[in-house]
Structure formats: C-alpha cells, structure tokens
Amino acid sequence: MTDINATREPGRLGRVWNSNFVYSFRKNPVAVVSMAIFLLIAAAALLAPWLAPVDPYDPSLFDIMDSELPPVWSDSGDSRFLFGTDDQGRDLWSAILYGTRLSLIIGLCAVALQALLGISIGLIAGYVGGRTDSLLMRLADIQLSFSTLMVAIIFLAVTQAMFGSETFNQYAVFMLIAVIGVAEWPQYARTVRATVLAEKKKEYVDSARVLGFGPLRIMVRHILPNSLSPIFVISTVQVANAIISEASLSFLGLGMPPSQPSLGSLISSGFDYIFSGSWWITAIPGVVLVVLVLVINLLGDWMRDVLNPKLYKG
Amino acid sequence: MSLLSVRDLTVKFAMRDQTVTALNQISFDVGRGERIGIVGESGAGKSITGFSLLNLISKPGFIAGGEILFDGQDIAKMKEAELRKIRGNRMAMIFQDPMVTLNPVLTIGQQMVETLMAHRKLSRAEAEQIAVLKLREVYIPSPEERLHQYPHELSGGMRQRIIIAIALLLDPQLIIADEPTTALDVTIQADIMELLLELCQSNKVGLILITHDLGVVSQMTERTLVMYAGRIIENGPTREIINDPQHPYTQGLINALPQQTLPGHKLKQIPGNMPALTDIPPGCPFSPRCSYATDRCRSERPRISRYGTVEVACHEVERLLKDEKKEMTA
Amino acid sequence: MLAYLVKRVFQAIAVMFAISLISFAIQDNLGDPLRELVGQSVSEEVRQQLRDELGLNDSFLQQYLRFVGNALQGDLGTSYFFKEPALDVILKKLPATLELVFAATLIIIGLSVPLGVYTAIKPNNILSRTIMGLSIVGISIPVFLTAILMIFIFAVGLRWLPSYGRGEIVPVWGSWETNFATVDGWLHILLPAVALASIMLPLFVRLIRAEMMEVLQSEYVKYARAKGISPRRIYFVHALKNTLLPVITVGGVQIGTMVAYTILTETVFQWPGMGFMFLEAVNRVDTPLIVAYLIVVGFIFVVTNTIVDLIYGLVNPTVNIARMGA
C-alpha cells in the first residue's frame, strides 16, 4: 500500500521465480555438488597466477632433468611437483591451472559471442518478420546442417596453413573464440525468435507500441526477459560443448599451442607418452576436463528440469 | 442390476508437496442402454470421471478409493490385462479433439483393424470388412478408400465420425464421449451429436456424454449429473433438471443460458469462479458463490440425498423440502 | 513427391556451389603452385611466363569456371606430396573412413533405440537411472579422450586389442579394402568404432528417450490405450514411429558431425582414413589435397542430408502433401 513500486508485477514474479529456483536447487544434491565443484574449478582457474608454483608459460623455469616425473603419490614422485611433470619438465599442476583457465575463458567467451549474435538475429528475425525473417532462418538452417566441429577444423586448418604456425599461435585464443562463437548462433536465434513470435501477439507488446516505445526498447525491455530461461538452459549446454570443441581442436594441434597449453593441448602432448608409461600427463588434465564438462552438463540438466523452457526443436 | 455402478469413487493427484482430491466420493449408476450426461464447468472433474471409468487416469493421478462396478466386476481393482479386455471392447471412449486422437503415422484401416484384432480372433481381411461396415454406418463415403488414408487427409468432422465408428467396432455396452464436438466447427457439431444419438438408440448402447452444454444434454440424455469442484451435486432425470433445477448452482447454470435472457439484457452469469482443487472451502464448495448460503453451508459439507426422482447435495434444498413436507402434513 | 525431390536436389546443388566457391578461394590463396612446380630458383620472367601458361593471370571468374569444370570431370589437381591426382589419393582413403563411420553407426542405432525406448517406458527404475547417469558422463567425455582411455585400458593395459592401424584388410572392389572380412580386421576396427560412437550414442539415447516420453503423453497414445491395444504394440508401433521422425532429422545433421569426429578418432588410432590424411595434408600445406578433402566431405554431407530428408519424407505420411502444396 505504501509503496506501489514494491508490489509491481515483474518484481514480485521475479522474486517468486527466484525463490522456487533456489528452493529446488537446495533440494537437489546433484546440483549442489556440481555447483560446488564448478565454483571450485572456476576459483582455481581464476586464481591460477597465485596458486601455481611456477609460470608454465616460461620455458626458462623448466629443467629438462625434471621431465616426466610422476605425481607425488607415486613411489618416484618429487615433492616439488604435485601432479608430476610433462616431457619438458614443466610442473603439471601449474600447467593444469593455467590450462583450465584458458579452457574456461575460451568456452565462456565463445558462448557469449554465440548468444550475442543469436539473440540479436533472433530478435530481428522475429520482430521484423517477412522476408528478413525467412532469409535469416534459412541461413540458420544451412549453418546448422554443417557440423560446427567440421567447420572449425577446416577453418583453423586453412588459416594455420595460410599464416604459418607462429602467427596462428599468437592469435589462437581469438581464433578459437571466433570460430566456436560464430558457428552456433542458430540455437539461440531460433529459440529467441520463437519467443518473440509468441510474445508479439500479446497485448502488452501492442500497448507498448501504441504508447510510442521504439522497437529496440520493446524488444529489450519486454520481449527479451521472456526468453531468459531457455537462453539460460541453452547456454549451460553450449559452454560444455564449447569447452569440448576447444579441447578437441587443441588436441588436433589446431588450437592452443604446447607453449601455452589449454587442457586439450596438455592431453595431446601427453598422448605420445602413454605408451612409455607416463600416463599422468594425459590422465590428470583429462580428468579435470571431464569433471569440468560433466558438472556443467549436470547443472544444465537440472536447470532444464526446473525451468522447463520451451526449447525450439528443429 | 444396472450396467455400471460407481460407488464413492475418489481420485487424487499426487503433486509435489501435497495430494489434491480431484474426485470426491462420487456415486452414480448407468442402466443398460441408458444415456446420461455429465455437466459442469471445466475443472469440475467431468473428464477425470470419464477416464477413471476405464481406469485410464495417468500419473500423478490415481484412484484412491471407491468401486466402479461394471457388470458386477470392479474396474478399480482390475489388473492391466483384465482392463485391456474391457477397454475398446465392452466400454469404448470417444475423445475430445479428433485432430489429435488418431495416430498421424498409421492409416485409418490400421487403427481400426488393430482394435478389432486386439479383442477378437479375426483375419486381417475379416477385420477390414467389419471396419468398412462400421464406416458405412457413420455415413463415411467410399469407406474402402478411407482405410488406406492417413488422418491428416481427412477433415475434423470426418475424423470424429471415424472415431465413433471405432467406438462401435466391437458392439460395446457403454460409450463414454468426452466433449465429442467442442473441437469441431459449430456447423457440424449438431450432425455428430445426431449421429451419436441415432447409433446409441439403434444399437442399444449406453452413453455417458460429458459436456458443458446443457442444450446438448437435454436433447441427448435421459439423466443428468451436475458436477462441481470434484463432486456430484445434483443427479436426476434430464427433463426435471432442466425444468426444475434444485441446486442453486444448477439453477445458476440454467439461468445463465442465453435462451433464458431477454434480448438486450445481460447474461445472468454466476458471480465468482469455481475454487481451485487445491483450496476448496470446508463446507459446501459452492457456498462462496451461493446467494442462499448460511453459516451451516460454510462449515458443514452437505451430503447428497434423494428427494423423489432427484438427488441433491444442498442444505438449503433439504431445509426447504422439509418445510414443505411439514406444511403438507400440517 | 517429385516436386519435393526437385526441391531437395536444387538445395543440394546450391550448397555444393557454396562449397566450390570456398574451395576455390582456398586454392587461390593457400600456397604457391609455382613453387611446388619449379622451386625458388627460376627467374622472374620465366615465372611470369609460367603464370600465363597455367592461367594464373586470368580473371577470377575464368579461373573459377576452369576450377569447377575440372572438378566436374573429377580433376581436383595433383597432390604436392603424393604426386598423384588428389581425388585418387582421397578415394583410396575413403573406404577406411566409411567403414569406420558405418561400424559406429551400427553401434549407435543398435544400442540407442532399445536403450532410449527402455528408459522412456520405465523412467524411474534403477537400470534406467543408471543408463541416464552414464549417458551424461558419456556426453561429457570428448571423443579423443574416450579413444585414449580405451587404448590405455584395452591396448596398453590388458593387451586385448590393437591400438593402431587397420590390421589385416581384404580387397573387395577397386581400391576398396575391407576390415570386415577377417577377425584381425574386426579386432582393429572395434576400438575406433566404439570411440567414434561414444559421444553420439548417449546423445541419441537421450534424444530418443525425450521424444518417446513426449509421444507417450500424447492423446493418440492415450486413445490407443482406451481401445485396449497391448502395451507392446503401443510402444513399438504407435509411439516408436512417431518418436523416430524427429530423430531421423537430427540424425542427418549428426552424420556430418561424425565425419568431423573421424578426424579425431583416426588421429588417435592412426587409422589410415581421409581424416588422418587431411591433417597430414594441412601440416604439409598440400593445397590440392586439402581442397579435394573439402569437396569430398561436402559432397558426403549433401548426399547424406538429402537421403535423410527423403527417408523422412517416406516415413512421415504428412510430408508429401504439405510440401507438394507449398
């Protein structure tokens, strides 16, 4: 009564949504554990420069005499190297911290790019409609019919061949973000477009238009909030996929170079040594990668169950 | 003995943190060849009643108590295999929306033949012959061709005729029709109802017609049940219920009909809405909307009692009739 | 049906046109054919003359048309490394890749349908929960890691299965040599095929389960139950056919992804297929081979997508009328 704004619809709805959301989270042990592990990994990645004993990017700090030392818990482990060392004598623990950081950054940025592109295109297609809409959606169809990984492999392979490894390695992070980010926009575009089409029919959008609000304001203030839950669900799955894609590309030597390894390049560099018994160079980064992707996927699954959004089906 | 005898049937839905009662101890009978109507607003429990008669309530719903005696056997306690022998065979069902009832990837013939072959030992050719016969009964032109067509090639009205034909395939004793025309064009609604009535009469099949349309009920049925918030509140011969409704809710329903309103006047809608199943008031569920409601109505649940040919669940009706009786004896 | 077919073929041509443009742009910009031909030591004048002779000074359009013309005749240039026609090199490697994809597809179809249907019918039992739990783990492990893990366990650890190569292969027809004729061949293809299937399988199990559960909620399934149809017939005739329609569409797209994953699997298992060869070609900047790979893979994409669409049209009775009317 005293404060009209406090009881306004969206705010209250927002709070109900939030409380339900939080409640079902607390009720689900898998979600809680996944979130805890994800936060732990994210924090470790964020604090890598402070947590890592050595800088894994500085070869002058490695000693070839230390190469291929097993983790501390093995009989011949060295107490200086928690997870052992790789073929160059690099501390694996430090390399994993920095590698996780790279994998997460690339995954998150690539998905942010996908979302930005996809949401804008979806909003435009749905709002403008007509020929623009059918053209954009046809583009989305074509884009989707090509496998992202295939396009990424070819694009990166060709650019690498064209500019040489050195130039390529210098810009590898940006290339990975760009190529993973550009390829998957249709996911977002289709979902957002579907929401726009559904919302456009509703009265409040009409009244907003009658009140003289511009299309941009209507889209951002009125339509976008309604597509938030599908966007959320898509994004978690997409981050997991982007991290896998990055790792796969780096494994093929088309991503992060061994001098600046992500989890994928670490696994790749260790693969040559599993036959000689140095399993840890591959196994430990592999476990970190799988756990990271798994907890994100589990969170995504849980979120899909709770929010139960209408996802676009092709 | 009546064909179907439902006693204290209770259906509940297990929701996340509570159990909701969707049908609250309903009882009624259907005689052989008798046609009854179940009316009420959407959400009153009409469709759930229809589905529970074949024990087809899907999770999270379940039959929590009561009996459904069909020819003396209790459907509520039957095993799945026994139920299958009754479903589609002795008791058939017609669904609401013919556009989504038939399987889109199977031909009309496949869907008819499978029904026959599920219940009788027949060859495919014999089954197809019966199917053609039944399609002819529902006035489908060139039935042999229809057998090879897919549902999407036919109109809504045509599909509902086919569904009626499927219901009649095995000469059932009872057909449950759940709002069979609401999804159809107004122009063909009457045709379908007429067809249904004709077939029920000529085949001596019992009918339970679920609808919210009192006009349809008055043309089609001999007896009517009025449902409100998961309960039966009035049950009697259709003519009496239409001409002399006892329960204030039934009175409201009939007064709200457009025919009851003078031109240029507003429709006499019952004020308020039916309560959600999650918060039904303690006494009579209709009491918040009832102009006759007393304190007793608000606290004590009325039981359904018989007055002549009609059963009503209302404290006020009970009181008025008692007064009348007293006056008559005095 | 005919209109639908024509439309599909038209689309396929459009996509191949786009691929040819990209391929040509790569060929035009990547590497220097002259250096591959004569080396660095030739004078500028001779170079110019050679450029003229090779048509490298012609207009873009002329060069592109010549490229397409040659490509249509099966001439995609000569591999710098193998000194053989690029298409021949690829076609020799193609059977190895196709057999791998075929084996993986068999595994995926053979397992995903029963598992997906089972988990949809019995969503709450322990086996279903286990399958679903494993499926999310499966999705979270990249193909190359599964491959490495399997090598580690079955080749390095247990020494049961070979870790690389195709083993004993038997010629069938032309340059086609098959793995499926000998026990050794089967043993060699087992691990790569399982690895390749490992990421698609859980994806398909989850997809089939989700679609099936939705279909089981539908009115027509409820109606079939009301008709007294047996559960087996409801699951496998009424529900499964409707479930598979969207699955076929997704499957078509996933075939493309499978081709991409062959690059990873072939690398880990040193499987002598096109994917492995492609990475080698990239490292050697063997432009004609890169371009040839691109065109062959693009062709496979287009053909499989078209076939999948046609199958969809055949399975789905509503598709013909709808498309023909449009």
Give the closest residue to B298 by CA, choosing from B307, B288, B306: B288
pLDDT given at position C189: 87
Q: Looking at the partner chain, which of B58, B85, B104 has a beta carbon nearest the beta carbon of C318?
A: B104
pLDDT given at position A239: 93
Please list the residues that pair with C319 across neighbouring strands: none
Q: Tell if the CB–CB gap between C223 and B95 is shorter than 8 Å.
A: yes
CB A246 within 8 A of CB A176: yes
Best mutation target among C211, C217, C227, C235 (most B Cβ atoms within 10 Å) is: C227
- In this prediction, what percent of chain B has a pLDDT beyond 90? 46
Nearest CA in chain C to B102: C220
What are the tens digits of pLDDT across the range C181-206?
777 778 888 889 999 998 889 989 99
The number of helix segments (H) and strand segments (E) in chain A equals 12, 0
pLDDT given at position C324: 39
Does C150 lie at the interface with A, CB-CB under 8 angstroms? no
Q: How many CB pairs under 8 A join A and C?
A: 101
CATH code at C309? Answer: 1.10.3720.10
Does B56 lie at the interface with C, CB-CB under 8 angstroms? yes
Q: Tell if the CB–CB gap between B152 and C321 is shorter than 8 Å.
A: yes
Has residue C323 got a pLDDT over 70?
no
Mean pLDDT, residues B280-290: 86
Q: Looking at the partner chain, which of C152, C297, C301 has a beta carbon nearest the beta carbon of A279?
A: C152
Query: Per-residue pLDDT for chain A (314 aa), expressed as one digit of tens each?
Result: 344 444 444 455 556 555 667 777 777 888 889 999 999 999 988 887 887 777 777 777 666 666 666 776 777 766 666 667 777 777 788 888 888 999 999 999 999 999 999 999 988 888 888 888 888 888 887 777 777 888 888 888 888 888 877 888 888 889 899 999 888 888 888 888 888 887 777 766 667 666 667 777 777 777 777 778 888 888 998 999 999 999 999 988 888 888 888 888 888 887 777 777 777 778 888 899 999 999 999 998 888 887 766 555 43
Q: Looking at the partner chain, which of A142, A147, A290 has a beta carbon nearest the beta carbon of C141?
A: A290
Residue entry with tokens 């109109």: B155
Mean pLDDT, residues C168-190: 78
Mean pLDDT, residues C224-252: 88
Residue entry with tokens 């057998």: B147
Does A301 lie at the interface with C, CB-CB under 8 angstroms? yes
Specify the higher pLDDT residue, C274 or A17: C274
Q: Looking at the partner chain, which of C219, C228, C237 has a beta carbon nearest the beta carbon of B101?
A: C219
**Conformation bin of residue C62: beta by default, left when phi > 0, alpha when psi is -120 to 50:** alpha
pLDDT given at position A66: 67
pLDDT given at position C321: 40
pLDDT given at position A14: 56
pLDDT given at position A7: 41
Output the average pLDDT for chain B.
88
pTM of the model: 0.83
pLDDT given at position C247: 86
Contacts C231 to B, Cβ<8 Å: 80
Range of the domain at C280: 86-324
Distance from CA of C314 to the nearest CA of B (A): 11
Nearest CA in chain B to C218: B100
Angle C126-140/A280-307 helices, nearest 10 degrees? 120
- DSSP notation for B216-257: HHHHH-SEEEEEETTEEEEEEEHHHHHHS--SHHHHHHHHTS
Has residue B22 got a pLDDT over 50?
yes
Nearest CA in chain A to C15: A142
Q: Binning pLDDT at 50, 70 and 90, where does residue C152 land?
A: confident
Contacts B85 to C, Cβ<8 Å: 228
* Residue B11 three-state SS: strand
Q: In whole angstroms, what is the distance from residue A194 CA to residue A312 CA?
A: 7
Q: Tell if the CB–CB gap between B87 and C226 is shorter than 8 Å.
A: yes
Distance from CA of C238 to the nearest CA of A (A): 21
Extract the tokens encoding C85.
């026609």
Distance from CA of B154 to the nearest CA of C (A): 12
pLDDT given at position B31: 92
Q: Looking at the partner chain, which of C219, C222, C226 has a beta carbon nearest the beta carbon of B88?
A: C226
Does C151 lie at the interface with A, CB-CB under 8 angstroms? yes
Nearest CA in chain B to C216: B58
Has residue C325 got a pLDDT over 50?
no
Sequence ranges of the domains in chain A: 47-307
Does B85 lie at the interface with C, CB-CB under 8 angstroms? yes
User: In this structure, is the dihedral angle defined by the CA atoms of residues B151, B154, B159 and B162, taken in order, positive or negative?
Assistant: negative
State phi, psi for B224 to the nearest 5 degrees.
Answer: -135, 135
What are the tens digits of pLDDT across the range C81-104?
888 888 888 888 888 898 899 999
Number of domains in chain C: 1
Q: In whole angstroms, what is the distance from residue A98 CA to residue C26 CA?
A: 35
Has residue B263 got a pLDDT over 80?
no
Q: Is residue C46 part of a domain?
A: no
What are the tens digits of pLDDT across the range B189-212?
888 999 999 999 998 999 999 998
Please list the residues that pair with C19 across neighbouring strands: none
pLDDT given at position A8: 44
Contacts A150 to C, Cβ<8 Å: 256-257, 259-260, 297
Note the CATH number of domain A47-307.
1.10.3720.10
State phi, psi for C78 to the nearest 5 degrees.
Answer: -110, 130
Q: Tell if the CB–CB gap between C142 and A244 is shorter than 8 Å.
A: yes
Q: Is residue C252 part of a domain?
A: yes
Q: Tell if the CB–CB gap between C151 and A274 is shorter than 8 Å.
A: yes
Distance from CA of C109 to the nearest CA of B (A): 21
Q: Tell if the CB–CB gap between B118 and C227 is shorter than 8 Å.
A: yes
- In this prediction, what percent of chain B has a pLDDT beyond 70? 97
Distance from CA of C157 to the nearest CA of A (A): 10
Q: Is residue C201 part of a domain?
A: yes
Neighbours of chain B (3+ CB pairs under 8 A): C
pLDDT given at position C34: 65
Does A248 lie at the interface with C, CB-CB under 8 angstroms? yes
State phi, psi for B263 to the nearest 5 degrees.
Answer: -55, 140
pLDDT given at position A78: 67
Nearest CA in chain C to A274: C152
Does C282 lie at the interface with A, CB-CB under 8 angstroms? yes
pLDDT given at position B293: 84
The one-letter amino acid at C199: I
Q: Tell if the CB–CB gap between B100 and C220 is shorter than 8 Å.
A: yes
Q: Which domains does chain B have, with CATH numbers?
A: 4-226 (3.40.50.300), 236-261+282-329 (no CATH)
Extract the tokens encoding A85.
């060392």
Q: In whole angstroms, what is the distance from residue A35 CA to residue B262 CA?
A: 66
Q: Is residue C35 part of a domain?
A: no
Contacts C233 to B, Cβ<8 Å: 114, 118
What are the tens digits of pLDDT across the range C279-293?
888 888 888 888 888
Q: Looking at the partner chain, which of B84, B102, B107 has a beta carbon nearest the beta carbon of C230?
A: B84
Q: Tell if the CB–CB gap between C297 and A247 is shorter than 8 Å.
A: no
Neighbours of chain A (3+ CB pairs under 8 A): C
Q: Tell if the CB–CB gap between C242 and B105 is shorter than 8 Å.
A: yes
Q: Tell if the CB–CB gap between A161 and C285 is shorter than 8 Å.
A: yes
Convert B294-325 to b/e letters by CB count within 10 Å (16 or more is b): eeebeeebbebeeeeebbbbbbbbbeebeeee
Q: Looking at the partner chain, which of C140, C142, C149 has a beta carbon nearest the beta carbon of A297?
A: C140
pLDDT given at position A4: 41
Q: Is residue C52 part of a domain?
A: no
Has residue B237 got a pLDDT over 90?
yes
Nearest CA in chain A to C297: A150
CB C222 within 8 A of CB C257: no
Best mutation target among B103, B168, B173 (most C Cβ atoms within 10 Å) is: B103
